[in-house]
């Protein structure tokens, strides 16, 4: 298609924009979405919007300063709306105006990928627990957090600092007091929110004891827990299950039929063992195997696995949550039925790139660095890459 096929419809009116939440809703609804991503090739390959009904073309905006090239015209649809996106929303608006002047049906993503990274949604889990158990989802990075509320008290597991206000608002809406802000381990992909929640609500920050042994340097007080202990929230007990492997401190939390596995096992993969100490990855993989078989796979097959992350390769349940029954995972994920040596070789053979800025993020979560809110938000932009494979290990 040539530019001449499109009458010039340029006006003084600003090109239409779409909010990130609106775009995500279209994707979640299974609508056909066409995205023109005008970021650099490197940024696009590292992190992008995707989905089963999403078509994406990457064409850097700096190659569009003199107009829309013929080869790009050939990749753009005549009969579908085109959503242009960039990093912050400025370049995408300029490109969208060019396309609109060429006769295309077009909008641009408000605030770009930074806006996409601000999407945060929650969904209550269907469990046998006499409590509210909700899963928070960050679509841009696949980070998952959890709220457990019972009889006037609540705990948040694996909170993100960037969304502290969301948790505070939710506990107020529920009319409960936040008793604990808990991490499953020292995260390498996002800035933990346990200290900010403690400041905002008076909640007690909680870390696994082995995680704290990595020389935590917090200004404020915090508590530690070890495997076999419990945290009581209202009428429910949260069991502490130490599951090292991803890190030495990796700890799951079990409430009723739900196991919050952190990064020990996901619904589409298992943990990578190299983010705490790359030189010890093989030994950590062996530890991970022991944790899975002794602490996780020994549970009832009806146990609901609720991880701390999901990847682009994951498929949500019908209710929109990223959870799965343990028995289903055992059937679908060969890694869970391998013998130990085979498992270790499989896990260390082809691990994906490490999360962006993971060393700085770890240093922040240990209390050694103190980035401000905007710096912290920038550090964690991009995919989480905490699983052993970028592809699903499930059938």
- Name the pairing type of β-strands 236-242 and 251-255: antiparallel
Query: Is 330:301 a contact under the CB 8 Å cutoff?
Result: yes
Query: Is 149:171 a contact under the CB 8 Å cutoff?
Result: yes
Edge-to-edge strand order for the sheet containing 33-37?
17-18, 106-109, 82-85, 33-37, 54-58
- Alpha carbon 181 to its chain's center: 18
Q: Which of 27, 35, 72, 86 is catalytic?
A: 86
Burial class (CB in 10 A: 0-12, 13-18, 19+), 226: exposed
Tokens of residue 305, six digits: 């696995």
Query: Is 288:340 a contact under the CB 8 Å cutoff?
Result: no
204: part of which helix (H) or strand (E)? Answer: strand 204-208
386 annotated active-site: no
DSSP letters for 85-154: E-SSSHHHHHHHHHHHHTT--EEEETTHHHHHTT--EEEE---S-SSEEEEEEETTTTEEEEEEEETTEE
Tokens of residue 265, six digits: 């096992």
Query: Is 87:43 a contact under the CB 8 Å cutoff?
Result: yes
DSSP letters for 152-170: TEEEEES-BGGGHHHHHHH
CB atoms under 10 Å from CB of 138, counted, come to 23
Instruction: Look at the chain and count its residues.
Output: 395
CB atoms under 10 Å from CB of 235, counted, come to 12
Q: Which residues are catalytic?
A: 86
């Amino acid at each position: 298609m040539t530019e001449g096929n499109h009458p010039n419809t340029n006006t003084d009116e600003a090109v239409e924009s779409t909010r990130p939440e609106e775009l995500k809703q279209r994707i979640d609804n299974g609508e056909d979405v066409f995205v023109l991503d005008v970021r650099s090739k490197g940024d696009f390959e590292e992190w992008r919007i995707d989905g089963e009904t999403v078509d994406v073309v990457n064409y850097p905006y700096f190659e569009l300063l003199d107009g829309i090239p013929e080869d790009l015209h050939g990749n753009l649809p005549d009969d579908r709306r085109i959503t242009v996106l960039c990093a912050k929303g400025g370049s995408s608006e300029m490109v969208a105006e060019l396309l609109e002047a060429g006769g295309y049906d077009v909008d641009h993503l408000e605030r770009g990928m930074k806006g996409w990274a601000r999407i945060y949604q929650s969904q209550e889990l269907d469990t046998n627990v006499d409590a509210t158990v909700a899963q928070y989802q960050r679509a841009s990075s696949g980070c998952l957090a959890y709220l457990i509320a019972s009889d006037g008290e609540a705990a948040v597991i694996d909170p993100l600092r960037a969304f502290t206000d969301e948790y505070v608002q939710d506990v107020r809406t529920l009319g409960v007091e936040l008793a604990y802000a808990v991490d499953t381990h020292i995260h390498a992909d996002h800035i933990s929110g346990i200290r900010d929640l403690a400041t905002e609500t008076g909640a007690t920050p909680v870390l696994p004891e082995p995680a704290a042994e990595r020389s935590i340097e917090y200004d404020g007080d915090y508590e530690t827990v070890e495997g076999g202990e419990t945290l009581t929230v209202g009428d429910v007990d949260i069991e502490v299950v130490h599951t090292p492997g991803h890190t030495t401190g990796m700890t799951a939390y079990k409430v009723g039929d739900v196991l919050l596995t952190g990064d020990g096992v996901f619904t589409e993969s298992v943990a990578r063992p190299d983010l705490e100490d790359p030189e010890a990855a093989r030994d950590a993989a062996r530890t991970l195997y022991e944790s899975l078989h002794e602490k996780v796979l020994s549970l009832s097959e009806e146990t609901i696995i609720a991880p701390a992350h999901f990847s682009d390769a994951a498929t949500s349940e019908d209710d929109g949550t990223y959870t799965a029954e343990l028995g289903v995972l055992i059937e679908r994920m060969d890694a869970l039925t391998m013998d130990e040596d085979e498992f270790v070789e499989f896990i260390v053979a082809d691990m994906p790139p490490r999360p962006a800025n993971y060393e700085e993020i770890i240093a922040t979560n240990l209390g050694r660095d103190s980035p401000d809110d905007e710096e912290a938000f920038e550090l964690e932009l991009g995919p989480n890459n905490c699983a052993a494979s970028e592809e699903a290990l499930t059938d």
